[in-house]
Structure 1
Amino acid sequence: MFFWSWNKRKYNLLTYISWFISGLLITFLVSCTSAQNSGKGEIEFWTMQLQPQFTPYFTELNQKFETDNSESKVLWVDVPWNAMESKILTAVSAQNAPDVVNLNPDFASQLASRNAWLNLDEKISPEVKSQYLSKIWDANKIELCEGENQCNTTTFGIPWYLTTTVTVYNKELFNKAGISETPTTYEDLAIAAEKIKNATGKYAFFVPLVTNDSNEILQSFVKMGANLLDEQGKAAFNTPEGIAVFQYWTDLYQKGLLPPEIMTQGHRHAIELYQAGELALIGTGAEFLKTIANNAPSIYEKSGVAPQITGETKKKNVSVMNLVIPKDTQKLDEAVNYALFVTNGDNQLKFAQEANVLPSHNDAIEQYISNLEKDANQDIVTEARRISAVQLEDAEVLIPPVKNINELKKIIHENIQSAMVKEKTVEQAVTDATNEWNNIQ
């Protein structure tokens, strides 16, 4: 009995040891297999809200990359627009970030200031850089300082796709006001606004003063020749040029040439007003015309398109989407190779045509414009796309990628509003905005 019991215990112990060793062996083999499948060759790529519309495009793109790079496999993860910032912050903090990420310069620069991204100047040759629009490439540069005199410029993003604003206007309202040419400068716009209001009782345009909305007010400073910030990040708009911008918007409001809702409503309200025939012009993307055609076909029939409104500087704004590479990636060369593949001329051109955006690659934008000029369907949408592409020659990212940019916008917006409603003089509003910004730096 005892002998049997001991043998039973011995059998159970040996069985347990056998199972334990087998389990370790299986775990080891699975780990090795997993490492082979998702190790060196797997590139994790995050985009912002591009599924399901562009799933076929990326499926084909990634298959081609994997065919050309047999040791590589792409894991594509699409993240909702409003979730990207929190997800990438968490991933970077945990040193578990994807290998390539689609971000805009504003947010990417915030993490670039924490030295989160690869300095692409160390990995990409001048020859390759020269293939991209130079002003767009330069928008992804930021100065990083380790000490007072130890500052270096780093490039944190590869330009991908772009959008520029065009002016969409109501030809009928322009005709009633006796305006034969669309305004091209802010000076022209002020004159047109008064004519339209006097002749039709309607507003010419809408510029939102809601903080978490359009950057139009901030862009107007740069377009009119005023600097927003100096090299140290301090306010640089307390100058004759900056005061003139405050005065411009204040005068328009006090003359009754801007809708009172600019204080509380965003760009969406401007779209609604334009589609209702209550607004003479709006700055927007070329694809907005399709929305007008669907929602307000009678307004679409009356619409024309013109270049983006600017100031004496002739500068025009462009919005940029980039690809960035985390500094801590274990697949550095593969990530750079993949990011350059996604943004090469052929792939940028194809994506731009599918998504109705603009490429940032020199060869691609040249071919994009050529294709539009050859397009047999020369309607208003095609013309808007052509204008949008051609004005890239003068376009740049007008708002610098700096920390707390939304706070700067809030400060300027609130002080312009105070001047508009006569709570402050324009000069006092500029002084207060300057002090408020400098106090948080």
Structure 2
Amino acid sequence: MKKLPMIALGLAGVLTIGLTGCGLGSGPSGNEDSSPTDGQVKGEITFSTLQLKPTFTDYIEGVIADFEKANPETTVKWIDIPFQGAQEKISTDAQAGTLPDVINLNPNFAQPLEVQGAFVNLDEAVPELREKYVAGAWDAFQVPGEDGSFGFPWYLSSEVTMYNASMFEAAGLDPAAPPTTYAELFDDARTLAESGASAGFTGMHPALENRFITDLGRMGVPLMNDAGTEWTFNTPVAESYVAELAELYQTGVFPSDSLTQDHAKETEAYQAGQIALFPSGANFLSIIEENAPDIAETTDVGPQITSEGGPTNVSVMGLLVPKSSKNKATALAFAEFMTNAEKQLAFSKIVTIFPSVTEALDDPYFMDDSDGSVESKARRIAAEQLTDAQNIVPVQFDDRIKAIVIGKVQLAMNGDLTPAEALDQAVEESNAITGK
């Protein structure tokens, strides 16, 4: 099975694009709601993806060929954009009103243009389709405080908890009972760290940049107000969480050099046998197997860590149709075709992703783990938790906000700020940016 390029995964909140200050073209090719004269599915459209060539050329071209066969009067021109320079290209195309007829974006990429009214409102154009998709994935392309949703969910990523079962057993923990809540996670991590002190491993890695704000959301902390205009995460629950992170770091449950390290370093630490718990996307199982087969041999999986009764997180990639398209009928039909159950299931069988259409998630490929493999178990767990998953991280959590928040939390974990001071300062400084 192929590994999806990390750039294409677009893990929500990781890849952002600075289009907020861009004005959309106001001339004939701007964001007016132009439509084909007869609304029929025919004619040529352009379809743009983010760095899927050459790995998935055969798959994408196959879907295009099937669509053109089913709709003989259509032609789909596929354009693949390298990630390097994508920000500038999308910004330029948006200003000129020359965005492709169907464009592949994640919610962070899409949001600045959604706010400016660049895309067709699917709740108005194709309202009957909403019920076919995972609700949280469809809602990921909403604008806070406004009605409507603007993107067909395409492929999804859902975190599971990978763990070293041998380390669990050595620490006296049940290797068949991984933690499912934050309370269980931190208790197990403490036990593992104590057990591993002489063996050279510890409990887990904080990976703050990748996980902190998502953790707060999974704990039920209100990250922003309903309008998406103010950050609100300086709550007692968040304060207790930061205090626990500080205690875990200062007592050695986290590696001593992990405070400023990211997800890549966490991956390396797990593969090196230095930590026992590794929450991440199921696609990382194949990476572990390739790079550290001895660790893969003892790796098992459990569900995504969340609070008692709390939400699970989903990362989303989608397909959007700009209002500037001269052939929206064909563009909408193609986006629906590309994201239908049959095509998404086929995509999921060549790369570790998950479909956004609930019919595909019910397929035995995701539900049957009777072969006993950890990969099948991970697929089943991830697919089951997608039903009620949400895109937790607000699209406003861009690199500027992330740097502020993570920087303050690092200071608290190091003992230079109290948890309350860190969160209050993070909220105040973040709102100074978001409120502009």
Which TM-score applies when normalising by structure 1?
0.84
Whether 1:422 aligns to 2:415 is yes
Cα contact 1:196–1:203 (8 A) shared by 2 = yes
Contact 2:144 2:226 in 1 (8 A): no
Give distance in 1, aligned partners of 2:331 and 2:366.
33
Once the two structures are overlaid, the 10-residue window that deviates more, 319-328 or 287-296, is: 287-296
Matched residue, 2:134:
133
Query: What is aligned with 1:17?
Result: none
1:261 to 234, 252, 257: 257
What is aligned with 2:223?
A: 228
Aligned residue in 2 for 1:208: 207
Counterparts of 1:306-325 in structure 2, within 5 Å, are 306-325=302-321
Instruction: Look up the equivalent residue of 2:224 and give its one-letter code.
Output: L
Q: Is the 8 A contact 2:189 2:253 kept in 1?
A: yes
What residue number does 1:89 align with?
A: 91
In the alignment, the residues of structure 2 paired with residue 248 and residue 230 of structure 1 have an alpha-carbon distance, to the nearest angstrom, of 25
In 2, Cα distance between the equivalents of 1:272 and 1:82? Answer: 25
- Write the mapping of 1:56-71 to structure 2, written as runs, cut at 5 A: 56-71=58-73
CA separation of 1:360 and 1:190: change in aligned 2, threshold 3 A: same
Give, in whole Å, the separation in 1 of the partners of 2:405 and 2:189.
Answer: 23
- Structure 1 unaligned regions, length at least 5: 1-39, 145-151
Corresponding position: 1:292 with 2:288: yes
Q: Secondary structure at the match of 2:258?
A: helix
For structure 2, the 5+ residue unaligned runs are 1-41
Superposed CA RMSD: 1.7
**Deviations 1:1-29 (CA, angstroms, capped at 9, x unpaired):** xxxxxxxxxxxxxxxxxxxxxxxxxxxxx
Change (3 A) 1:385 1:82: farther
| 8 A contact 2:260–2:410 mirrored in 1 | no
1:354 corresponds to which letter in structure 2? Answer: I
State how far apart, in whole Å, the 1-side matches of 2:220 and 2:366 are.
33
**Secondary structure of 1:396's match?**
coil
1:3 maps to: none
Deviations 1:299-354 (A, max 9, x none): 11111111111112431111111001111111111111111111112112111222
1:387 and 2:381 are equivalent in the alignment: yes
Native 8 Å contact 2:367 2:379 kept in 1: no
One-letter amino acid matched to 1:205: M
Shift, 1:169, TM fit: 0.7
Cα deviations by residue, 1:213-247 (Å, 9 ceiling, x for unpaired): x1x10011111121111124212122212222222
Alignment of 1:332-351 (within 5 A): 332-351=328-347
Equivalent in 349, 354, 357 of residue 353 of structure 2 = 357
Relative distance call for 1:95 and 1:237 in structure 2 (3 A) is same
The aligned runs of 1:143-158 (5 Å cut-off) are 143=144, 152-158=146-152
Corresponding residue of 1:106: 108
Find the aligned partners of 2:420 and 2:338 in 1 and give their Cα distance.
49
Runs (4+) off by over 6 Å: none
Structure 2 partner of 1:165: 159
- 1:425–1:371 distance in 2 versus 1, CA, 3 Å: closer
Is the aligned partner of 1:281 residue 2:240?
no
Please tell me whether residue 191 in structure 1 is matched to residue 187 in structure 2: yes
In the alignment, structure 1 residue 329 sits paired with structure 2 residue 328? no
Contact 1:98–1:326 at 8 Å: present in 2 too?
yes
Match of 2:6 in 1: none
- Give the TM-score of the pair, scaled to structure 2: 0.85
Secondary structure of residue in 2 paired with 1:160: strand
Q: What secondary structure does 2:301 align onto?
A: strand
Higher Cα radius of gyration: 1
Give the stretch that moved more between structures: 262-271 or 340-349: 262-271
Q: Does 1:399 align with 2:399?
A: no
Give the distance between the partners of 1:381 and 1:276, measured in 2 at CA: 20
Corresponding residue SS for 1:257: coil
Contact 2:194 2:202 in 1 (8 A): no
| Whole-angstrom CA distance in 1 between matches of 2:370 and 2:235 | 50
> In structure 2, what residue type is equivalent to 1:198?
E
Residue 372 of structure 1 deviates from its aligned partner by: 4.0
Distance, in Å, in 2 between the alignment partners of 1:83 and 1:318 is: 26
Structure 2 Cα separation of the partners of residues 337 and 235 of structure 1: 38
CA distance in 2, matches of 1:263, 1:249: 10
Q: Does 1:433 align with 2:426?
A: yes
Distance 2:368 2:308 in 1: 33
Counterpart for residue 36 of structure 1: none
1:373 is displaced (CA, Å) by 4.4
Take 1:345 and 1:168, find their aligned partners in 2: how far apart are those partners?
A: 28
Contact 1:160 1:320 (C-alpha < 8 Å) held by counterparts: yes
